[in-house]
Amino acid sequence: MFESLTQRLNESFSFLRGRKELTEENVEEGLRAVRQALLEADVHFQVARDLTARVKERALGAERLAGVDPSQQFAHAFHQELVELMGPEDARLSFAKTGPTVLLMAGLQGAGKTTTCAKLAKRLRDKHQKRPLLVAADVKRPAAVEQLRVLGRQLGVEVFHVEGVTPPEVCKQGVAYAKAKGFDLVILDTAGRLHVDDELMTEVADIAKVTQPDDQILVVDAMTGQDAVNSAKSFHQRLALSGVILTKMDGDARGGAAVSLKAVTGCPILFVGVGEKIDDLDAFHPERMAGRILGMGDVVSLVEQAQEQISEKEAQASYEKLVLGSFTLEDMLAQLRMMRKLGPMKKVLGMMPGMGEMAKNIDVDDKQMNRLEAIFTSMTPRERLQPDVLDMSRRRRVARGCGQDVGAVNELLKRFKDMKKMMKQLGKLGLGAGLGSKAKKDTLRGMTDSGELASGEGGGLLGGLGSLGGAMKQGIGGLGSMLGGGGGPSPAELASMMGGGGARPSGSSATRKSGSKRKDKKKPKKSRKQKRK
C-alpha cells in the first residue's frame, strides 16, 4: 500500500520534474495524486480540499524560482502548507500562577487517556519538577480506577479517588485534596465518551466547570479516520480545549487526523504517544508529521534541498505583496503565523524593541491566538483570497467551523479592513521604496526563520517592521494596528491584538515612543538574551 503510494507520487512528481513551468494543467496532475495521498492518510476531505486549493494557489502564483526545479517547488509548497497548518511546534502547557495546575484529559473511548495521564505525570514531574496528583474519574469502565492506581504505583505518584460519588465530584474533591496537600499539578483522568452522548458530554463540561482546568486536553488516537473532525468539533464546543495529544503514533498510521484536528480546533498538538511505556511521550514535530502524512521520504528530501532557496525568495514575495500589493486575508493569516512562529506572544512582545517592559505587564493569551487562527482556517482559500465573498451565511459557516460565534468572525474581518486600509496608506506613501535595503533584508530574514527570531543580527520580521515604523513615525503601533485595532495604536490595542482580544494590559508606556526608538538593531537581540537568563 505504502509502496504504491510513494510510487504514484513519484510518478506525478517526476512528471512535473521534466517540466519547465508549473502550469495549471501539470499542477492539477500533481495535486490529484497528493490529494489522494492525503485522503489515504485520513486527512478529512474538506481539509484536504482546502489544502490542495491553497497549494495550487501557491504553486501557480509563485514565480518560477531560478535554480529550483518546478517539482521541488511544488513539493515544497505542499510540505510547507502542511507544516504551517499543523504548527507551530508548541509543547507548552499553561501552568497556574497560584495553586495547583489542573489538567483535564478528555476523549473518546479507547483513545489512550489513562496511559497518557501517567506519561504526562512522569514527564512533568521529571522535566518540570512538578509534584503531580492523578485523579481517577473514570467510574464507568470496569477497573479503570484500578488501572490508574497500578500506573500510579509504578510511577510513585499518588492516585486520588472517592467511591460512590459522581465524576465531577471526584474531580472537585481531588483538586481540593491537592491544594490541601501541596500538590502543584492535578491530572484528571476522565471516562472515554462519545461526542454524541449528550449526558456524558454535559458531565465532562461539568467537570471543567467545577475544577477550572488550566489546560483542557483532547486525547486522540492517531489511527482515527474522517470522524476525527466530528468528535474534535464537539469536544471543542463543550470544552475550552487548549491542546491535543495524539496517541499510538508508534504504529504505521499516517496520522492525517493531526491535520484535521489542528484545522478544526486550532489547538496546538502538544505531544504524541509513541509506545506503551510510561516514557513514550514525545514533543510534536510538524515537519516530521508532514513528511509522514505525505508518506514520501524522497520528496521530503527534495524539499529540504529546495528549502533554503525557496524560503528566502518566498518571503521576499510575500513581503512585497504585503507592503506593495493587494492584501488579502491569506496574507493576514501568513503574517499571524509568522508572528506565532517566533514563539509565545509574551516572548515576542518581549523581543520587540522597547516592548520588553510592557510585555512584563501584559497577560497575553496564546489560546486567543489559537482561536484567531481557527477562524482563518475555517475559511476556504477562496474566502481568504477574496474576503468580499464572506457574506453572512458564509460567516456563519466559518463560525460553526471553528466553534466560535459570528461576532468573533466579524471582529476579525473588521480588523482585516483596518489593516488593509493602513496597507494602502503605506503604499501611497511609497514606503516600500523608502525602505532601507538593510531593514528589508532583516525583515526577510525574520520571516524565513522558522524557529527563533532572527538568528543573525536581530531585528527580523519585527525589527524590520519596527524600523519600517520608525521611518513612518508609526512604529510598533503600526504593527499593532495592522493586526489589531484601527487608527491610533495604543498599548492596550497592541496587546489586544496580540492576545486576539483577550489581553489585559496593565502597562502604560507609549507605543509610539518605543517605536521611534527602534533604530539600534542590536537591541532586540540583547533583550532576547536577557530573557534566557
Ligand X SMILES: Nc1nc2c(ncn2[C@@H]2O[C@H](COP(=O)(O)OP(=O)(O)OP(=O)(O)O)[C@@H](O)[C@H]2O)c(=O)[nH]1
Q: According to CB under 6 A, which one of 7, 14, 109, 530 is a site residue for ligand X?
A: 109
Q: Is 283 in the site for ligand X (CB under 6 A)?
A: no
Residue 222 CB, nearest distance to ligand X (Å)? 15
Q: According to CB under 6 A, which one of 11, 18, 45, 110 is a site residue for ligand X?
A: 110
The contact mask relative to another protein for 386-425 (x = CB under 8 A, - = no) is: -------x--------------------------------
Nearer to ligand X (CB atom), residue 147 or residue 370: 147
Q: Is 112 in the site for another protein (CB under 8 A)?
A: yes
Q: Is 192 in the site for ligand X (CB under 6 A)?
A: yes
Residue 147 CB, nearest distance to another protein (Å)? 4
Cell of 288: 516530521
Task: Name 188's bridge partners.
Answer: 104, 135
| CA atoms of 352 and 528, how far apart (whole Å) | 9
Phi and psi at 520, nearest 5°, equal -80, 115
Length of the chain: 533
Strand, coil or helix: what is 163? Answer: coil
The contact mask relative to ligand X for 116-145 (x = CB under 6 A, - = no) is: -------------------------x----
Which conformational region is residue 460 in: left (phi greater than 0), alpha (psi within -120 to 50 degrees), or beta? left
Binding partner at 173 among ligand X, another protein, none, C-beta below 5 to 8 Å by kind = none
Per CB under 8 A, the segment of 36-44, 182-190, 335-343, 382-390 that binds another protein is 36-44
CA distances, 497 to each of 63, 115, 302, 330, 425 (Å): 32, 38, 38, 17, 20
Per CB under 8 A, the segment of 43-51, 312-320, 346-354, 463-471 that binds another protein is 43-51
Strand order in the sheet with 269-273: 158-160, 132-137, 185-190, 101-107, 215-221, 243-247, 269-273, 281-283
Burial (0-12, 13-18, 19+ Cβ within 10 Å), 79: buried
| CA atoms of 196 and 216, how far apart (whole Å) | 19
Nearer to ligand X (CB atom), residue 109 or residue 530: 109
Residue 1 CB, nearest distance to ligand X (Å)? 24
Q: According to CB under 8 A, which one of 17, 92, 131, 149 is a site residue for another protein?
A: 149
- 3-state per-residue secondary structure call for 51-93: HHHHHHHHHHHCCCCCCCCHHHHHHHHHHHHHHHHHCCCCCCC
Q: Is 356 in the site for ligand X (CB under 6 A)?
A: no
Nearer to another protein (CB atom), residue 46 or residue 166: 46
CA distances, 530 to each of 5, 109, 336, 467 (Å): 49, 46, 25, 22
Q: Is 205 in the site for another protein (CB under 8 A)?
A: no
Q: According to CB under 8 A, which one of 73, 190, 216, 224 is a site residue for another protein?
A: 224
**Binding residues for another protein, per CB under 8 A?**
1, 36, 39-42, 44-46, 49, 108-112, 140-144, 146-151, 154, 194-196, 221, 223-228, 230-231, 248, 250-254, 256-257, 276, 393
